[in-house]
Amino acid sequence: MTSLAWERRRGSATRFWKAYRSHRAGLYGLAGLALIALLALTAPWTVGADVQSVTNAPGTALESPSAEFPLGTDQFGRSLLGLLIWGSRISLLVGLLAAVLSVAIGTLVGVLAGHYGGWLSTVVMRITDWFLVMPALVLAIVLATVMSRSVWTVVLAIGITCWPTTARLVRAQTIAVESRPYIERATALGGGHGHVMARHVLPNVMPLVLAQTTLGISAAILTEATLAFLGLGDPTVTSWGGMLQDAREAGAVSSGHWWYLAPPGIAIALVALAFTLCGRAVESVLNPRLGVGR
Amino acid sequence: MTTASTPAGVARAEEARATDGAPRTGVASGYLRHAAGKLGGALVSLFAVLVTSFFLFRIIPGDPVKAMTHGAPTSAEQLATLRRQFGLDLPLWQQFTDYCAKALTGDLGTSFQFRAPVGDLIAAKLPATLLLTGVAVVLYSALGLWLGTRSAWRHGGLGDRVNTGLALTLWSVPSFWLGLLLIIVFSVGMGPIPGLFPTGGMESGTGETGFAYVLDVAHHLVLPVVTLVAVGYAQTLLVMRSSLLDEMGGDYLTTARAKGLKDDDVRRRHAVPNALLPTVTMVFINLGHVAAGSILVETVFSWPGLGGLFYQALSVPDLPLVQGLFVVFAGAMILANLLADLLYPLLDPRVGR
C-alpha cells in the first residue's frame, strides 16, 4: 500500500521535472540559485567570518577596486567582495525563513478555513482580507520599529505581513480538492477532520505552496534589504541591505563611489530574479492556463 | 518596492473573474447593494486599522516619554507633566476611546519631534506625494498596458521575451538602490555624463514663479518618477499579458477576423477591451501600494512628501507621527480597494450583480 503510494509520488515528481525542464527561464533561475547557494554555504572557508571585523580591516578606507580588493573597500577598510559574499548568508537566510514562515501561516489558515467552512471560515477570511488591504511594507516597517533590532524581528515582521495571499489561494484549492469524490470516500471509511486535512488536502495543496514559497522568497529578500536600508535590521550582522545603508552613510552617492553601491544591489536583484524565475516556472507547470511560460 | 502587491492584485482580479456565473437580479438595485456592502466593508477595515494602530504602538517595550526626551536628564516631575500633556497617564481603554474620537475628527495627535499636530504635518506633505505617485502611476500603467499588449499579441517572439525578461529584472531591483544609482549617474555625474538632474528635493528654491516653477518641479520630478516607473511597470505588463493571452483563444476573435477586420482592429477593438478589466482593477488596487512604496524613493531623493516624513519619524522614533502615517497609508489602501470594487461591476457587467 505504502510502496504503491511512493511509486505514484515518484512518478509525479518525474513528470513535474520533465515539464519544468521545458521552461528555459526556470532552468536559468535554478542554476543561478545553485551557484549562489554554493557561494553562501562555502563562505566560512572562502572568506571567513573575520571579513566583518572592523578592527582588523586589511585595507584603508574607501579604496577603489584593485587586484587585492576586486570591489574596493568600505569606510572601515574591509574588503567589499568579502562582505558581499558573507552578506549573502543573512540575506538568503532571512529570505528563506520569512517566506517559509509566511507560507506556513497562510497554508494553515487556508486549509482550516477551506476545510471547516461556516462561521470559522467567514471570520478567518475577514481577518485575511483585512491583512490584504494593509500596506505590507508599512506594517513590516512599523513592526520592525516597535520590536527590538534583530534578524528574528525582520523574519517575523516579513512573515506575519505576507501570508494573506497564500491563505486565499490555499483556501480556494482546499475547497476544490474537497469537492472530489475520494474525499467523500475517505469520510465514509471513517476518516476524521485531521486525517482528511493531513493525508488528502495537504498533499494536494503542496505544489501550490511550493510555488508560493519560491515567489515569496524573492519578495522577502527585497523587503529584508529595504528594512536594513532603513536602519531597521540587525546592526551587528552584514547583509546586502545593510551594505547599501553603509554606502549611503559613507557618502558613496555624493562622491560618486559607484563601485561601493552597485554590487549589493545587483546581488539582491539577481537572487530575487532567480527565485522569481523558478517560482513562475513552477507555477506554470502546475497551472498551464496561467500562460506564464507560453 | 511594491513587490508584495502583485500576487494580491492578481488573486483579487482572478477571483472577480471567477464569479462569471452569478445570477442577475435587478441591475441598478444589485449594484447599489454591492456598493453598500463594499462601503460597509471598507468602514469596518478602517476601524480595524485604527484599533491596530492604537494597540500596535502600545505594546512597545519602554516608556514613550523616555524615548521623547532622548535620555536627556529630566526630573520625575517633568516626565509626569509630559505624560499628562500627551494623555499617557489615563487608563488604556480611555486612551483608546479618546484616540478613536479624535481620529474621527481628523486629530491624529501631536508629533514628539516637531511639536505640531500630526494632521497638519501630513496635510502639508500630502500634495508632493500625490504629485509624485500620480505621475508615476499614470506613466507605469500606460507603459505596462502598451508593452503587455504587444508582448501578448506576439507571444513567444523575441520582442516578448526581451520585454518580459527586462520587466522581471527591473521588478527584482530594490527601488532605493536604483534611485541611488540614478543619482550617481545623472545628478552627480559620471565620466562623460554631466549632472543633468538635481540630486533631490522638489524645487531649487530660487524663487521661480509661474511656468518657470512648473518646469523646475518637473525637472526635479524626472529621476524619482523614472525610478518608480522602472520598478513598477512589470506588474501591469504581466497582468495585461496574461489576461490578453487568455482572451486570445476566444471564438469572438476568430469571428472578428472572419469578418475581414485588420489585425490591429481585432486587437484594439475586440481583444484589448476585454483583457483590460483585470488590469484596470489591479491598477486601482495598486494605487494604495504605490503611496507606501514611495517611502523609499522619497527618502532617497529627499522628496518632501509623506514617505520622507515617515522616514524622519522612524529614525527618532516619533510614535504619534508614525502612527498617523500608518493610518493614512492603510486608509489609502482601503480607499483604493473600495474604488476598484465599485468600478469593477461598472466595467464588467458579469460581476457583482
- The one-character DSSP state at B23 is P
* Position with higher pLDDT, B207 vs B178: B178
Residue B325 · residue B312 · CB < 8 Å:
no
Interval B317-334: pLDDT, tens = 777 888 888 888 888 888
Task: Look at residue B316 and tell me whether its pLDDT is greater than 80.
Answer: no
| SS3 annotation, B42-70 | HHHHHHHHHHHHHHHCCCCCCCHHHHHHC
Residue A20 · residue A31 · CB < 8 Å:
no
Residue A166 · residue A103 · CB < 8 Å:
yes
Amino acid type, A66: S
pLDDT, residue A175, reads 87
Task: Look at residue A8 and tell me whether its pLDDT is greater than 70.
Answer: yes
pLDDT, residue B80, reads 78
Residue A91 · residue A122 · CB < 8 Å:
no
**H or E segment at B188?**
none
Alpha-carbon torsion, ordered A19, A23, A24, A27, to 10 deg: -60
The arithmetic mean of pLDDT across residues B265-291, rounded, is 81
Band (B13; pLDDT cuts 50, 70, 90): very low
pLDDT, residue B7, reads 42
Task: Look at residue B18 and tell me whether its pLDDT is greater than 50.
Answer: no
- Considering just the CA atoms, what is the radius of gyration of chain B in Å? 24
> What are phi and psi for residue A73, nearest 5 degrees?
-125, 165
Contact check, Cβ <8 Å, B292/A135: yes
Interval B72-123: pLDDT, tens = 667 777 777 777 776 677 777 777 888 788 777 777 778 878 888 888 889 9
Q: Which residues of A touch B58 (CB under 8 A)?
A: none
Contacts (Cβ under 8 Å, ≥6 apart) of A195: A186
**Lowest-pLDDT range, A39-43, A96-100, A161-165, B100-104?**
B100-104
- The one-character DSSP state at B342 is H
CA distances from A234 to A159, A240, B58, B91, B210 (A): 17, 12, 23, 34, 48
Residue B10 CA to residue B19 CA, distance in Å, equals 15
pLDDT, residue A176, reads 85
pLDDT, residue A2, reads 65
CA distance B210 to chain A (A): 31
ipTM of model:
0.83
Interval A116-155: pLDDT, tens = 888 888 888 888 887 877 778 888 888 887 777 788 888 9
- The percent helix, strand, coil of chain B (3-state, each to 5) is 75, 0, 25
Task: Look at residue B24 and tell me whether its pLDDT is greater than 60.
Answer: no
> What are phi and psi for residue B149, nearest 5 degrees?
-65, -50
Interface test with A, best of B10, B154, B168, B177 (most A CBs within 10 A): B177
Band (A246; pLDDT cuts 50, 70, 90): confident
pLDDT, residue B197, reads 77
Residue B193 CA to residue B196 CA, distance in Å, equals 8
CA distances from B349 to B21, B31, B243, B343, B345 (A): 11, 10, 17, 11, 5
CA distance B69 to chain A (A): 17
Contact check, Cβ <8 Å, A225/B333: no
Mean pLDDT in chain B? 79
Task: Look at residue B232 and tell me whether its pLDDT is greater than 70.
Answer: yes
Task: Look at residue B299 and tell me whether its pLDDT is greater than 80.
Answer: yes
CA distance A144 to chain B (A): 10
Task: Look at residue A101 and tell me whether its pLDDT is greater than 90.
Answer: yes
Residue B34 · residue B349 · CB < 8 Å:
no
A134, A256, A276 member nearest B190 (Cβ): A256
Closest CA to B116 of B289, B255, B308, B309: B309
How many residues does this entry show for chain B? 353
pLDDT, residue A102, reads 92
Which cell goes with B142? 500606460
Task: Look at residue B205 and tell me whether its pLDDT is greater than 80.
Answer: no
Band (A105; pLDDT cuts 50, 70, 90): very high
CA distances from B231 to A136, B168, B188 (A): 17, 9, 22
Contact check, Cβ <8 Å, A218/B3: yes
pLDDT, residue B70, reads 58
Closest CA to B104 of B191, B17, B43, B146: B43
Task: Look at residue B196 and tell me whether its pLDDT is greater than 80.
Answer: no
CA distances from A246 to A159, A229, A235 (A): 25, 8, 10
Which cell goes with B217? 518641479
pLDDT, residue B353, reads 45
Share of chain B above pLDDT 90, in %: 5
Nearest CA in chain A to B314: A145
Contact check, Cβ <8 Å, A229/B57: no
pLDDT, residue B139, reads 93
Q: Which residues of A touch B337 (CB under 8 A)?
A: 133
Residue B9 CA to residue B239 CA, distance in Å, equals 9
Interval B114-153: pLDDT, tens = 888 888 889 998 899 989 998 999 998 999 999 999 998 8
Residue A274 CA to residue A32 CA, distance in Å, equals 6
Band (B68; pLDDT cuts 50, 70, 90): low
Determine whether A93 is exposed, middle or buried from the number of CB atoms within 10 Å of its CB (0-12, 13-18, 19+): middle
Q: Which residues of A touch B155 (CB under 8 A)?
A: 291, 294
Nearest CA in chain B to A164: B8
Contacts (Cβ under 8 Å, ≥6 apart) of A32: A270, A271, A273, A274, A277
pLDDT, residue B16, reads 45
Alpha-carbon torsion, ordered B28, B33, B36, B40, to 10 deg: -160
pLDDT, residue B8, reads 41
Task: Look at residue B3 and tell me whether its pLDDT is greater than 50.
Answer: no
Nearest CA in chain B to A263: B177
pLDDT, residue B10, reads 44
The arithmetic mean of pLDDT across residues B292-308, rounded, is 86
Helix (H, G, I), strand (E, B) or coil at B10: helix
**Lowest-pLDDT range, A21-25, A282-286, B45-49, B86-90?**
B86-90
Helix (H, G, I), strand (E, B) or coil at A195: helix
* Position with higher pLDDT, A256 vs A280: A280
CA distance B242 to chain A (A): 6
| Residue burial B209-223, b: 16+ Cβ < 10 Å; e: rest | eeeeeeebbeebbeb
Nearest CA in chain A to B7: A165
Measured from the Cβ of residue A214, the count of other Cβ atoms closer than 10 Å reads 24
| SS3 annotation, A52-100 | HCCCCCCCCCCCCCCCCCCCCECCCCCEHHHHHHHHHHHHHHHHHHHHH
Mean pLDDT in chain A? 83
